[in-house]
A = this chain, B = another copy of it.
């Protein structure tokens, strides 16, 4: 215990006994010291130890007096519980926003086709709630709901009405998308895209000011509604994660514990991402796993519990708003009545292969297109681009009933099992007249003309969706990728499902069908194929997507088909390239993202990566007691490094600490007002020598010196260095040999080295 008594005198903040005549920076707290600049990476270790300071201050024993003590107690309790309070608030707000978005999208999507006479703010479905027609096709017959042509000309049918409706559909779509892109351009440029690549980068420790701001939240919510309603091939799921993260950031600012610590803030944001997925699909567990698998970088166990809490609150807030009008939590509710058979694994795996190929094609084509947009004239006309794509989408989508409706409705219908009451085209089977089975257990039947018709239309829809999604994702409007990807997979799945079903019906005697498909049995469920295809369509989100699907169906029975397809899809896509769409977009933007998944297996050493390289000028260092203020200013002016190592002397090159450029600039500009001149000597030592009064006043800067900089030896394998950077979230690391400072490795150096090793352009990493 005796050794512990000497501790406190050595800790920086209690080191108050500096020489009185010295200018000692940070005697009083100075606001900006220890913060980061925009587009820079945070230092996780530093943030973590700052959080401890916060906890310490909270737990500090004080003598309480009556009133104050209660207030103190409440404050300290609130501080201890603030994590859960923030989660509750995030859950409530993101659930509410998701509900509002769902309702608005419903209404505006239907507005493109017609209007409700009884109340214009009703969507088609709400308008017809009073009538008894509940099936999909009969909805149209509800008298309160009028299509535009009927309202304007009185004629509901005929070529003229069709053309008028077609025209107005396009007009509305163009109006919505124009509004969306204009709002984004004018008010919040960060509101575009899905947001997930940037959130991944932010969670890994990057700073993008305003990306999760209030304006972004507001504009993204509004423009998301407009973008989805305009009928473009995009989903609201990705942007909802961004919206939830904005909520998280908003509530962080209420508590100093989170607003002042970039590390703690990122814990909250991880949980907010889980809440976002939770409301997007109505799948809280899937949301937590998504945050864990796909988005988060640093995910302590505490975050697991809190994410789960936030995801649950969000899901139940959404359910109490009940936007789907069925008090179901999930986006696509399905219930199948037949099990799957081993032989069906073959088509399921084929769907997985298709999903993997589609994923690869999409990533390659989309990245190529986005690169072209970035590098050519095209990028200068984002409004025009959005208008053009919306126009093309609307013109091509309207004639095909499967592309005209919203994508989530399409997926819903594709997932559906054909019950006895189903009247959609996809369920137009030729019924066996002497059928006397219960409604749930309908045997396989031959397809009617409606089904064949639907197959053609679905095939066209598939090609259309594949092509248009490639051009849509990456435009300057909010756009998610889940729903279009799932739609492509679901269409392919349903087509395969119907094909297998008809084969099984017409060829009972084939060996492959003989064992499990007797005549008159219900063996193949095309809806299940659609679901499996959808899971395979969203490549590389293996576990979380399977869990989401599992939450949708609420049963473990279909987990094997889903898993088989999802894993096949991942394997096929991995064979063509390891990078997912989010990583590709991160790379396209040059963000410094050190992927946890990339395995670094090259045999380079720290000495190969560190700067200065051979023939470079020597490393810019400060000495502990011989540098003047002028030297420091020159160094800051001449270089753009983010920090400087401090050594004992230039000869011995023994490392003392590391000082941040930002802190140094702040300190000097502050202290210059207090009488420090250019010829003043800067001291990083514990005690400065007593100088004669004639000498300029020295400047003591030990307070801003990081006395525990991270070091590795020059012989350390880069693999270990990469691992350390990843796990500890370092910003830079100093390289030594036998105690001598040799050089420095920054996160950017690591990323550039990794890019070089993978034969990519190292200059693509732009930020530090």
| Contact assessment for A614 and B312 in the assembled complex, using a CB-CB cutoff below 8 Å | no
CB distance from A336 to the nearest CB of B (A): 14
A602-638 interface bits toward B, Cβ cutoff 8 Å, 1 = contact, 0 = none = 0111111000011000000000000000000000000
For window 530-586 of A, CB contacts with B under 8 Å fall at: 542-543, 546-547, 550-551, 554-556, 559-560, 563, 567
Complex Cα spacing A728 to B302, Å:
19
In-complex Cβ contact of A720 among B45, B301, B554, B613 (8 A): B45
CB distance from A82 to the nearest CB of B (A): 15
Q: Is A141 an interface residue (CB 8 A)?
A: no
Q: Is A717 an interface residue (CB 8 A)?
A: yes
| Contact assessment for B719 and A708 in the assembled complex, using a CB-CB cutoff below 8 Å | no
Interface centre among A10, A560, A614, by most chain B C-beta atoms within 10 angstroms, is A10
Complex Cα spacing A290 to B700, Å:
52
| Contact assessment for A559 and B312 in the assembled complex, using a CB-CB cutoff below 8 Å | yes
Complex Cα spacing A713 to B655, Å:
10
Given contacts A304-B543, A559-B312, contact A724 B720 (CB under 8 A): no
Complex Cα spacing A613 to B713, Å:
26
Could you say which residues of chain B place their CB within 8 Å of the CB of A59?
601
CB distance from A568 to the nearest CB of B (A): 12
Complex Cα spacing A48 to B302, Å:
27
| Contact assessment for A4 and B560 in the assembled complex, using a CB-CB cutoff below 8 Å | no
Could you say which residues of chain B place their CB within 8 Å of the CB of A603?
7-8, 11, 52, 56
Copies of this chain, complex-wide, total: 2
Q: Is A694 an interface residue (CB 8 A)?
A: no
Q: Is A284 an interface residue (CB 8 A)?
A: yes
Could you say which residues of chain B place their CB within 8 Å of the CB of A728?
723-724, 727-728
Given contacts A56-B603, A707-B713, A707-B715, contact A48 B8 (CB under 8 A): no
Q: Is A678 an interface residue (CB 8 A)?
A: no
| Contact assessment for B708 and A716 in the assembled complex, using a CB-CB cutoff below 8 Å | yes
| Contact assessment for A604 and B4 in the assembled complex, using a CB-CB cutoff below 8 Å | yes
Stretch of A413-421, A512-520, A662-670, A736-744 lying at the B interface: A736-744
Could you say which residues of chain B place their CB within 8 Å of the CB of A682?
none
| Contact assessment for B708 and A717 in the assembled complex, using a CB-CB cutoff below 8 Å | yes
CB distance from A731 to the nearest CB of B (A): 14
Could you say which residues of chain B place their CB within 8 Å of the CB of A724?
728
CB distance from A690 to the nearest CB of B (A): 23
In-complex Cβ contact of A740 among B300, B739, B756 (8 A): B739
Complex Cα spacing A62 to B711, Å:
37
* A557 closest partner in B (C-beta): B329
Complex Cα spacing A302 to B597, Å:
8
Complex Cα spacing A11 to B717, Å:
9
CB distance from A21 to the nearest CB of B (A): 25
| Contact assessment for B3 and A613 in the assembled complex, using a CB-CB cutoff below 8 Å | yes
Complex Cα spacing A542 to B285, Å:
13
CB distance from A238 to the nearest CB of B (A): 20
Given contacts A285-B285, A708-B717, contact A739 B601 (CB under 8 A): no
| Contact assessment for B713 and A709 in the assembled complex, using a CB-CB cutoff below 8 Å | yes
| Contact assessment for B285 and A547 in the assembled complex, using a CB-CB cutoff below 8 Å | yes
| Contact assessment for B720 and A49 in the assembled complex, using a CB-CB cutoff below 8 Å | yes
Q: A56-B601, A308-B543 are in contact. List 9 more A-B contacts (CB 8 A).
A: A52-B719, A288-B543, A293-B301, A305-B567, A312-B559, A654-B739, A707-B713, A724-B728, A739-B739
Top 10 A-B pairs, shortest CB-CB distance:
A739-B739, A708-B716, A707-B715, A654-B739, A727-B727, A654-B738, A708-B713, A52-B601, A55-B601, A708-B715
10 pairs across A/B with beta carbons < 8 Å? Answer: A3-B613, A11-B717, A45-B723, A55-B601, A648-B738, A654-B738, A654-B740, A708-B713, A727-B728, A728-B728
